[in-house]
Amino acid sequence: MKLGFTKTQALHIVKVAIYVAVSTVISYLISLLANDPTLVGPLTPIVNVVLVMLKKFFETPEAK
């Protein structure tokens, strides 16, 4: 049994990390606008879901 990640798996992990970072930054900016730093935590998953929904909305379906 070989342990480790394939290049494709590593790219998927990097992609998820970028999504989380972007959603956290957006949540932070919203919390700054609302002048309430406690909003970052609850907003991050919501913003993450919205980003994924937007990506899927504009994504071209794959031909099978």
pLDDT digits (tens, 9 = 90+) for 50-64: 988 998 899 888 765
Could you give the CA distance from residue 24 to residue 40 in angstroms, rounded to a whole number?
7
Residues 24 and 41: beta-carbon distance below 8 Å: no
Domain ranges of the chain: 8-58
* Residue 40 neighbours by CB distance under 10 Å: 18
pLDDT band at residue 12, thresholds of 50, 70 and 90?
very high
Residues 35 and 48: beta-carbon distance below 8 Å: no
- From first CA to last CA, the distance across the chain in angstroms is 32
**Residues with Cβ < 8 Å from 39, sequence gap 6 or more?**
27, 30, 31
pLDDT digits (tens, 9 = 90+) for 13-52: 999 999 889 999 999 999 999 999 999 999 999 998 998 8
Q: What is the pTM of this model?
A: 0.76
